[in-house]
Structure 1
Amino acid sequence: MKNKITETAIPASSKIAEDLPGAYFYDCFETPFPHADLSAMQIYMDTFAKTPAWVNAMMGIRNRVVVLFGLKNVGGMKALNKSKPAEAYKVGDKAGIFSLVYKSDEEVILCDSDKHLDVKVSVSKQTRDGQPFIALSTVVHVHNNLGRAYMLFVGPAHKVIAPAVLAKA
C-alpha cells in the first residue's frame, strides 16, 4: 500500500516553525504514520536510509555541479551510519548529510549550512483528530545571490523530492 502524501503548512506546534520568520523557502509534507512507538530520530533514519535511487542520482549530479559555483558537495541522502542506534545521536552529531541541531522524541531538526544558505529539515510526529502522522518540513534561509540562484533550481525540485523520500516512511 502506498502512503498518502499531502503538502501542508508547517505544524505550528513543531520546533522548526520558530525558523519560519524571514525564510526564503519552506515546505511541509505529511503522511499517516501509525508507528507512534518510534522516535522521530528513528523515523528520520529509517526514512532517509530508503531514499529512492533516482533521488540519490540527482544528489550526485547536484554535487558535481554546485562545486563549480563554490557550494559544497554534501554527499548522498543515504549516507547514514547504520551501526549507530537512533538513541545514541546527540545534538551536534552528523546524521547523513545533515547535522543534528534539535532532538526530542517527537521531533528532530537537522541542518546544513554554508556561506550561501542554511537548510533545516524537521521530522516531527503529529496527531490530528486522534490520527498520528509524520510531517517532513524544510526551511531555508539564503544569505546572498548565489543562495537565491541555487534555490531557483532546488525549490521546484524539492516539491518532488521531499514527497518521494517521505513515501518511504
Structure 2
Amino acid sequence: MDKIPNSSLIKLYTQDADFYDCFSSDIDCYRGETALELFMELVTRSPEWFNFLMSLRNKIVSSFGLKDLGAIGAVNPQRNIKNIEVGDRVGIFTLYKNTQHEVILEDKDKHLNVKVSFYVTPNDSGAKLHATTVVHLNNTFGKWYMFFIKPVHKLIVPTLLQRLRKLKERR
C-alpha cells in the first residue's frame, strides 16, 4: 500500500474513514490524459475475470440488501468525456469531483459510503497514477461486507493498475 499524496483531494475524506488505502503505478506512456480519461480506459478494458467477480458480488450481496452495482465497465465508451458532469453515473459510480489530475467517484447506500480517487501526478518519465479508496461504514452489515471485501480489494486494485500500465505501453 502506498501513501496518499498530500495534494490529493481524497485525503480530506480519510480523517474519520473506517477504511482507506492507496495503490500507485507508474505510467510511462502518459500523454497528458485527464484522471477521468485514465479511469475510463481502465474500466472499459477490465478483464473478464474481474467482470465475473463483480457479477458474483452482485448476486451474493443483493440478497442481503446491498444494491446490484452492475458491471464496472458499463459505461458508454463513445460518450464524450467532456460532457460528463458531477452527479452523472460513470459505470458503478457517480462522479463526485473532477479536475485535470484527479477524479473522485462515489457510491452510497444504507450500509456504506465509498469514494474512489484516481489521481495522476505527471513526472519526468511519464506519470504516477494513485488509486485511493475511502470507505465510511454506516452499520454492522457494512462492517461484515468490508471484512470479506478488503482482502479481495487489496489484490484487485494493484492488478488493475498494472493492467492499465501494460495497456498503455502497448499503444
Q: Is this a same-fold pair by TM over 0.5?
A: yes
Secondary structure of 1:163's partner? Answer: helix
Q: Which of residues 25, 33, 45 is equivalent to 2:27?
A: 33
- Number of corresponding residues: 163
In 1, distance between residues paired with 2:40 and 2:122?
21
Structure 1 segments, 4+ long, off by >3 Å, are 127-131
Q: Which of residues 65, 72, 77 is equivalent to 1:82?
A: 77
Q: Which of residues 5, 9, 20 is equivalent to 1:15?
A: 9
In 1, distance between residues paired with 2:162 and 2:45?
9
Identity percentage of aligned residues? 39
In 2, distance between residues paired with 1:29 and 1:98?
19
CA shift, 1:67, in A, is: 0.9
TM-score, normalization by structure 1: 0.91
* Equivalent residue, structure 1, for 2:130: 135
RMSD: 1.4
Give yes or no for contact 1:40–1:106 (8 Å, CA) kept in 2: yes
- Whether 1:118 aligns to 2:113 is yes
Q: Which of residues 41, 60, 70 is equivalent to 1:46?
A: 41
In 2, distance between residues paired with 1:148 and 1:25?
10
Unaligned runs of 5+ in 2: 165-171
Give yes or no for contact 1:50–1:165 (8 Å, CA) kept in 2: no
- Whether 1:24 aligns to 2:18 is yes
- Whether 1:68 aligns to 2:63 is yes
In 2, distance between residues paired with 1:86 and 1:79?
14
TM-score, normalization by structure 2: 0.90
Give yes or no for contact 2:94–2:105 (8 Å, CA) kept in 1: yes
Unaligned runs of 5+ in 1: 1-6
Give yes or no for contact 1:106–1:124 (8 Å, CA) kept in 2: yes
Give yes or no for contact 2:37–2:81 (8 Å, CA) kept in 1: yes
Give the residue type in structure 1 aligned to 2:19: F
Deviations 1:34-69 (A, max 9, x none): 314111110010011111211111111110010111
